[in-house]
Structure 1
Amino acid sequence: MPRRAVPPVPDRRPALVVLDGQSLPVADIVRLADGTARPVPGTGAMKRVEQSWHTARELAASGRVYGRSTGVGANRAEAVPSEAAADHGLRLLRSHAGAVGHPLPAREVRAMLAVRANQLLAGGAGLRPTVVSALCDALAAGAHPVVNEFGSVGTGDIAALSQLGLALVGEHPWQGGRPPEAQPLDNNDALALISSNALTLGQAALALDELGRLIAATELVAALSLLAVDGSYEAYAEPVHAARPHPGSYAVATRMRRILGAPGRPTPPLGRIQDPYGFRCLPQVHGPARDAADALERALAVEINSAAENPLICPGSDDDLAPAAYHHGGFYLAQLALALDHFRLAVVQTARLSSSRLSALNEPGLTRLRPFLADAEPASSGVMILEYAAGAALGDLRAFSAPASLGHAVLSRGVEEQASFASLAARQTLRACEAYRLVVGCELVAAVRALRQRGLRPEAALPVGRAFALAESVLDPEVADRPLTEDVTAAARLLDQLATTDDDMSETGSPGNSGSTGMTGTTRGIA
């Protein structure tokens, strides 16, 4: 009797991400931070690192190179005697490892390690190659140094990276997995390691990834709310957006048609002529947020894959260019600070629109239900409190969206007379995520309740149908007055899953396709 074939055991090891210093995307930074991938330095990139390290040592031995044979900041004109050079690097790390505040979460520090390893592989730092290997080993083992929150003003994360440097030499604690072997960092390594914005870039990458998913989920929640109030598809019609073709708005309208199974040229509604702004202006509000996300991703892609160290070490070339160390301001993150500020301001607009839809769901004239989606008991409050909760979370979101780039600082005896505050912009963008989740979570709870009370079920094959089924499986159907804290918490957690419910959709709602109403089992009138 032939033996039955045994199915292969699935490979559960983390996927490999090759770091080459030139093409690492934001998505891979997130995977490395979360431990779902492990890094491998590219062979060609490691050769660049080795060449850069040898060049830097030669330049520092024969002339003045900032931070190697001189002090830093206002001490830049003070030479380091050759007999003191061996200790200069450690003194630099020890003096600059003064970050303060709470220790950062592991994934933020891991994102920093991933960014810094990739930047070093761009080949402009002049740092010993074993440090790159050590950073990759730490990521693979799940180890990360303790890094405190505050220490950067957007001109280099020197305090956080100095803590990393001391951890690499064995003078600062690691957490998580097994730490890498101790590294002998000297005067040619210290500034080369810390001359970077790797922490800011890692935090920005994590924030962009999370908020991008939340914005996508919000569009599905908005679709549920639209169906709950018998909203019109006209606002998403292809001719409307072809007539005013902003890329983001056009893409959002196209996605909304796909989510809803709506035609490109829907027939006018029989009831209301126009919906409230929360439904009618969604492409015009979400479009700029998508455009801002794209701009931020482009800025991050440049920074993550750049040799921005000061000084920049350039080995000689076949074109008779002599080896050189270029002193510059390439570490100044004005581009990123402005992109982060722009993104947060766009995101807060989408959250405000969500709170507007929540208010609409409380209106009997729109839902044909009792005020606040209440039960049949006299004077029941239903989901009334959700408007207050969402408004409070929206208040935090507005505060986090204040432009960090308006900040100003004069440091190091006036030598550094400006600051981008990109580091603050990245922290504020991360902080915005939880507040945003809660605002949209409140809308999701109300939208699902309204659909249930009306007996409406979106078509199961549509993204909006799959979103409803997922939410319905999690959210409590009880409509009697009760605390809604757990409902909103569950809905907020659910948003990441909702964001993926139309990933495999065909172009059902693409221009020229008739689409469908998006509803089954009832008309779009009273249940």
Structure 2
Amino acid sequence: MVVRLGARPAAVDDIAAIAQGEPVELDDVALATLSASRAVVERAIAAGEPVYGLNRRLGAGRDDAVDPAEFAAFQRRTIANHRGGVGDPLPATEARAVVAARLAGFARGGAGVRAELAVAYADLLNAGLAPRIPSRGSVGAADLTALAEVAAVVTAEGRVLPDVPASEALAAAGLRPVELAAHEALAALSANAYSVGVGALAVLEAEGAASAADRALALSLEALGASGPSGNLSPFSEIVADARGGPGQRASAAAVRAALEGSALHAEGRTVTVQDPLAVRSAPQLHGALREAVARLRAEVDVELAARSENPVVDVATGRMVSGGNFQAVPLALALENLRLALAHAAAASERRTAALSLALAPARAAGGTRIPGLLLYAAADAVAELRQLAAPATLASTTLSGVEDHASFAPLALRLLQRSLALTGEVLAIEALHASDALAVAAAVPTGAGTAPLARSLDALVARALPAADLVPAARALL
């Protein structure tokens, strides 16, 4: 599938597809937009009007003129000066997501780059090359350090993964380096393409986590019901969901009902407690909040992908280059923050359900009749403790970098913490599902729910492999 950019803005799924290796193409609309926006830049050059990053320097030197004779050298210095990232390089998929997000931004026309430069970014992706981008260095007032590495690759100054000089990689792929024209260095840097591109990948992982939470919960309901009078299904009814409303709660409750369709929990005359503990009873509200936080993040990433976030922004309609602050992606950063908090709530409830299942398993464990390590519960508690710490605000870490650049969103930090939160939440949910599977086996109960039955069979087969906990939990997470 070729992902085409131009006639419509890119979206989360487009970036994810490109990151996974799908080819990309700039359509006629994109090429026409690039031509028109570059014409605005050329007119500004000819007119000699003062424009930030074009004929004026950057940051604190914003009012210092750049001699037109220095334009080429200024581009090279700008990229070299911003290559200040540190840390392990991003995985290839994430690096491709960064390039894809910046290319999507070029296609919107706010950057004023030549079609030649945009095509070079597309060629890089289509050749299967991924820039070597250090994972840290951006404070979220445009992801400058990450994007400098991308620009350094297309100009044959940087490196590609695993660690190959860009000049060699481009030559091997039959690609020629691009020499940046006036304004293109700043235009290449002036976006949050790390936060947006890798954020798009986080959206998909978070959507999987939200679904996994409901699947683990449904299996726990089966296990609790098989072990005693727990497993009251009334909190998951349409009546309760509609009484409060909210798309997240409705979706979560519906997912649990679908997973339990045909389950013995629906049996007539079954003895059931009037009310389960809150970690069970209010799970649709908790998981609903998680689903809504994920939806908010998807919406914010889509807004950024459709935006002209550059400074200055090239406006074809008026023929102007206008200074602004669209690179300050605070709404995106806050959505990343919010999702971490929602994950912590969902994981905390999951750990409490696991504790209830572990208590039910205690007699069998004492007699040697269980199949999973008892201290998996401790691993879940450890993960939840870390999740609570990760939920603290990251975006308020804003610091003064210079007299001009005196605030930043810290969206990249919020994103890195979200990635860790997603990994930990996946572990906690997997541990819950493993406990539910074990409790069902001890009770000699075979789930019959439409979703819980196949999940239980898969988990039983996994547990039968007698893997160590460090391998068992990731495998269970993958099943969820």
Q: TM-score, normalised on structure 1?
A: 0.84
CA contact (8 A) 1:22 1:306 kept: no
1:74-473, aligned counterparts within 5 Å? 74-175=60-161, 178-179=169-170, 180-230=175-225, 231-261=231-261, 270-315=271-316, 317=317, 321=318, 323-364=319-360, 369-371=361-363, 373-374=364-365, 376-377=367-368, 383-412=373-402, 414-459=403-448, 462-473=450-461
Larger displacement relative to structure 2 (163-172 or 482-491): 482-491
2-structure distance, mates of 1:254, 1:438:
24
CA shift digits 1:195-219 (9 cap, x unpaired): 0100111121111211210220121
2-structure distance, mates of 1:257, 1:382:
28
Larger displacement relative to structure 2 (382-391 or 297-306): 382-391
CA contact (8 A) 2:124 2:130 kept: yes
2-structure distance, mates of 1:300, 1:27:
11
SS, match of residue 102 in structure 1: strand
CA contact (8 A) 1:203 1:427 kept: no
Shift of 1:267: 7.3
Shift of 1:472: 2.3
1-structure distance, mates of 2:112, 2:445:
64
Residue 299 of structure 2 aligns with an amino acid whose one-letter code is R
Residue 354 of structure 1 aligns with an amino acid whose one-letter code is S
Describe the shift of the 1:447–1:188 C-alpha distance in structure 2 as closer, same or farther (beyond 3 A).
same
2-structure distance, mates of 1:487, 1:82:
62
Shift of 1:362: 1.5
Shift of 1:158: 1.0
CA contact (8 A) 2:9 2:104 kept: no
Shift of 1:494: 2.3
CA contact (8 A) 2:371 2:463 kept: no
Residue 281 of structure 1 aligns with an amino acid whose one-letter code is S
1-structure distance, mates of 2:342, 2:267:
28
Residue 289 of structure 2 aligns with an amino acid whose one-letter code is P
Larger displacement relative to structure 2 (72-81 or 243-252): 243-252
Counterpart pick for 2:33 among 44, 48, 59: 48
1-structure distance, mates of 2:194, 2:42:
26
1-structure distance, mates of 2:260, 2:92:
39
1-structure distance, mates of 2:465, 2:275:
31
2-structure distance, mates of 1:18, 1:475:
44
SS, match of residue 161 in structure 2: strand
2-structure distance, mates of 1:437, 1:217:
8
Shift of 1:493: 2.8
Q: Which residue of 2 aligns with 1:494?
A: 479
2-structure distance, mates of 1:470, 1:254:
23
1:504-523, aligned counterparts within 5 Å? none
Shift of 1:60: 2.5
Shift of 1:325: 0.6
Larger displacement relative to structure 2 (391-400 or 120-129): 391-400
In the alignment, structure 2 segments of 5+ residues that lack a partner are: 226-230
Matched, 1:25 2:11: yes
CA shift digits 1:148-199 (9 cap, x unpaired): 1222111101111111111111111122695342011133211111101001
Q: Report percent identity of matched pairs.
A: 33
Residue 30 of structure 2 aligns with an amino acid whose one-letter code is A
Shift of 1:251: 1.6
Describe the shift of the 1:266–1:410 C-alpha distance in structure 2 as closer, same or farther (beyond 3 A).
farther
Shift of 1:266: 9.4
2-structure distance, mates of 1:486, 1:98:
37
Matched, 1:475 2:475: no
Shift of 1:375: 6.0
Describe the shift of the 1:377–1:257 C-alpha distance in structure 2 as closer, same or farther (beyond 3 A).
closer
Q: Which residue of 1 aligns with 2:45?
A: 60
2-structure distance, mates of 1:491, 1:204:
25
Describe the shift of the 1:41–1:484 C-alpha distance in structure 2 as closer, same or farther (beyond 3 A).
same
Describe the shift of the 1:144–1:223 C-alpha distance in structure 2 as closer, same or farther (beyond 3 A).
same
In the alignment, structure 1 segments of 5+ residues that lack a partner are: 1-14, 496-527
2-structure distance, mates of 1:94, 1:139:
22
Shift of 1:471: 2.0
SS, match of residue 383 in structure 2: helix
SS, match of residue 362 in structure 1: helix
Shift of 1:457: 1.7
Counterpart pick for 1:484 among 452, 469, 475: 469
Residue 243 of structure 1 aligns with an amino acid whose one-letter code is A
CA shift digits 1:446-470 (9 cap, x unpaired): 111111222222227x122222222
Decide which structure has greater helix share: 2
Aligned residue pair count? 464
Larger displacement relative to structure 2 (335-344 or 243-252): 243-252
2-structure distance, mates of 1:198, 1:246:
32
Shift of 1:440: 1.3
1-structure distance, mates of 2:431, 2:464:
14
SS, match of residue 374 in structure 1: helix
CA contact (8 A) 1:154 1:421 kept: yes
Residue 232 of structure 2 aligns with an amino acid whose one-letter code is S
2-structure distance, mates of 1:164, 1:392:
38
Describe the shift of the 1:262–1:406 C-alpha distance in structure 2 as closer, same or farther (beyond 3 A).
farther
CA shift digits 1:496-518 (9 cap, x unpaired): xxxxxxxxxxxxxxxxxxxxxxx
Describe the shift of the 1:269–1:21 C-alpha distance in structure 2 as closer, same or farther (beyond 3 A).
farther
CA contact (8 A) 1:296 1:343 kept: yes
Residue 57 of structure 1 aligns with an amino acid whose one-letter code is E
